[in-house]
Amino acid sequence: MPQGFFTDTTLCIGCKACEVACKQWNQLPDDGFDFTGFSYDNTAQLGASTWRHVAFVERPVPLGGTQLGNFSWLMMSDVCKHCARAGCLEACPTGAIVRTEFGTVYIQPEICNGCGYCISACPFGVVDRREDDGRAWKCTLCYDRLKADMTPACAKACPTASIQYGDLVQLRVKAKERVVELQSRGLAEAYLYGVDAENQPGTGGLNAFFLLVDKPEAYNLPPDPVVPTKLMKRSWLTMAGAALGLGVLAVSAVVAP
Amino acid sequence: MIADPETDVSRPVEDGRNIDPRLGTLAGEGSHQQVERIQASRPTPSNELATGTTYYGLPLLKETPWKWAIPAYLYVGGLAGASAALAASSLLRRDSLGTIGRTGRILAFGGSVVSAAFLIQDLGRPSRFIYMLRVFRPSSPMNVGTWILSAFGGFAFGAIALPGRLGDAACLGAGIFGLPLTSYTAVLLANTAVPLWQGTRNALPLLFVSSAASSAASALELFDLPADEARVVRRFSIAAKLADILCAIAVQREANVVERVGRPLRKNPLWKAAKVCVLASLVVSVVPRKSRWLRIAGGVLGTLGAAATRFGVFEAGRHSSRDPQASFEQQRAGMSLASSVTTSLTPA
Ligand code: SF4
Ligand code: SF4
């Protein structure tokens, strides 16, 4: 049964407990301390050693249902989306990236040879290679914990249930109810991002989907991501035609008098 | 009792994991990640921020970790594939095309060895290169390409190592596998989220094939050929270089459909230089009965143009992956798969 995350950004308080819990449980190494200088977000991005990342969006715009004036502060805990059709998985030449029994996307570190193709194939810029390690890494959706019937570390640590883990079918129902509830409370902007294949046809839906209140670009999410493999049929055909053309050209250059 | 990090010698390297080995073991999913240097590698905000909503101008995508060896392979692999195709065709007129046949076979085999070396060198874990052939995966152009290159390399070796008929048969095999070798790399680049590469997915294979053909023609122009073989090379060269220029225009047009996507290619100095070199080399090839030096000049210009084409496309793609707006605009403009549906679901 596919399992997944529902990240309800309206509940996020930006405490970064998920980031810390993820680093600790997975025993991920340090990737350097730095001040970005633009917000409370000093993590800046997901990476080989950072599998949860809390984004802080500061906007001079009011948020529906609040009385804060011309200001709103949006927080979102970003993660690998475990796409139903994953660009990384379909591009991986070694078969290192697999779909697990929980419907999640998992990179087997003992197989990955560090070719780096998955990095360019992910439409969300999630997976990355740590240069001193040489392999590609990303969120495993706590594969080890799932096998032991435990909740992933980030969802367990989240104090506000902004990150919810569970059976994907139930999560979707819950999420849709939540949108209706928020809208009835005046937050008309609330919508779901990647909840299913109908919502995001390019990826067939995300096993880790989000409730957002601004357009995806504001959170550094692509508005209409597509798994690149879906677009390749014509490219392969063009390639075959062009290659045949080269054959014809070579033969005719030789045999012409 | 927690060990004092300053005095505990049994402690693993200071890599931020903060595990006291007497209290816990390294068994987490990320515990095998090796660390040599801890250093912040924060993405730099794109400097083309002028328009639209972004997240502090940070890139949406991760830049490819591929270094110079990959665009170099794009050139060498194309050269080897097209040379093999020409050598195989020359079997049809074996009596008179000895030099093209021999040189083509050497370029094919040499090119396949250099290609493999470039590809292995660029891996994060070079010792595991053979894992590329663990599976056959039609969804991964890189996997398909590795199989093509392996078969090509085997045949190209046979073409120089085996005697007589057997060698000719191997040469034919190399010629056949050389055709997709020249062009699968275009599909490989297009099958990414990089806006420029994805956005040129239809014209790029055409460009890579014709650029491979003009690489092989230019390489042969560097050699001293008998008159009838020189005629063959000239015919092949003019057609290839002309196609190369037309396809470069087609690639630029396809990229320009979304202004922001085509911008890094339009501005790329290598891409501009490539067009000038190929054009100049075409002009030289067209001149009839030229001196040996003029032919060599044509070959050098063509080689530079072909290499610059690959490096230009590669660098411009890297540049476009740094620009979040390029992806956003491409997807909002409906260039992605299903935007007609999604745009009604995601607020603009
Ligand atoms: S978000 Fe990226 S890394 Fe995660 S499953 Fe999708 S394509 Fe793969
Ligand atoms: S870097 Fe590893 S996981 Fe990524 S595509 Fe290459 S082999 Fe697969």
Q: Tell me the ipTM for this assembly.
A: 0.95
Question: What was the pLDDT predicted at B335?
Answer: 60
Other CB atoms closer than 10 Å to residue A42's CB: what's the count? 16
Rounded CA separation B211/B310 (Å):
9
pLDDT tens per residue, range A59-73: 888 998 888 888 899
Burial class (CB in 10 A: 0-12, 13-18, 19+), B331: buried
Q: Give the minimum alpha-carbon distance from B340 to chain A in angstroms, rounded to a whole number.
A: 10
- Helix locations, A160-219, DSSP H: 168-184
Rounded CA separation A16/A12 (Å):
9
Regions of chain B where pLDDT drops below 50:
1-12, 338-344
Question: What was the pLDDT predicted at B199?
Answer: 96
Question: What was the pLDDT predicted at B49?
Answer: 52
Q: Do residues B78 and A246 lie in contact, with contact meaning Cβ atoms separated by under 8 Å?
A: no
Query: B-contacting residues of A 112-171, CB under 8 Å?
Result: 112-117, 119-137, 140, 142-144
Rounded CA separation A91/A127 (Å):
12
Query: Beta strand pairing status for A163-167 and A191-193?
Result: unpaired
Rounded CA separation A141/B275 (Å):
48
Question: What was the pLDDT predicted at B11?
Answer: 42
Average pLDDT, chain A: 95
Nearest CA in chain A to B136: A93
Q: Regarding the domain with residue range B65-191, which homologous superfamily does it belong to in the CATH classification?
A: Formate dehydrogenase/DMSO reductase domain (1.20.1630.10)
Question: What was the pLDDT predicted at B47?
Answer: 56
Q: Which residues are CB-neighbours of B257 under 8 A, at least 6 positions away? A: B199, B333, B335
Rounded CA separation A48/A43 (Å):
12
Rounded CA separation A250/A72 (Å):
64
Task: Take atom 5 of ligand 1 and give the residue whose Cα is closest.
Answer: A82
Contacts of B89 in chain A (CB under 8 A): 247, 250-251, 253-255
Question: What was the pLDDT predicted at B289?
Answer: 73
CA distances from residue A230 to A85, A236, A241, B334, B337 in whole angstroms, order as listed: 9, 12, 20, 15, 8
Contacts of A126 in chain B (CB under 8 A): 62
Residue range A126-152: average pLDDT? Answer: 95
Task: Kindly calculate the radius of gyration of chain A based on its CA atoms and give it in whole angstroms.
Answer: 21
Question: What was the pLDDT predicted at B342?
Answer: 43
The reported pTM is 0.93
Rounded CA separation B79/B213 (Å):
7
Q: Which amino acid would we find at residue A56?
A: F
Find the CB nearest B331 among A112, A133, A223: A223
Question: What was the pLDDT predicted at B1?
Answer: 37
Q: What is the DSSP letter of B62?
A: P
Q: Encoding tokens for residue A183?
A: 């809208």
Q: Rounded to the nearest whole angstrom, what is the distance from the C-alpha of residue A1 to the centroid of ligand 1? A: 19
Phi-psi region of A78 (alpha: psi -120 to 50; beta: other; left: phi over 0): beta
Interface with chain A: mutation pick from B11, B19, B29, highest number of A CBs within 10 Å: B29
Q: Which residues are CB-neighbours of B43 under 8 A, at least 6 positions away? A: A44, A45, B58, B59
Question: What was the pLDDT predicted at B348?
Answer: 54
Question: What was the pLDDT predicted at B3?
Answer: 44
Closest alpha carbon to A4 in A164, A145, A176, A149: A164
Fold of A3-225: Alpha-Beta Plaits (3.30.70)
Q: Which residues are CB-neighbours of B329 under 8 A, at least 6 positions away? A: B52, B258, B259, B260, B261
In sequence order, the β-bridge partners of residue A54 are: A77
Q: Which residues are CB-neighbours of B289 under 8 A, at least 6 positions away? A: none
Q: Encoding tokens for residue B343?
A: 């745009």
Residue range A192-209: average pLDDT? Answer: 95
Question: What was the pLDDT predicted at B291?
Answer: 85
A243 or B35, greater pLDDT: A243
| A245–chain B Cβ distance below 8 A for any pair | yes
Q: Which residues are CB-neighbours of A138 under 8 A, at least 6 positions away? A: A46, A48, A51, A80, A88, A107, A126, A127, A128
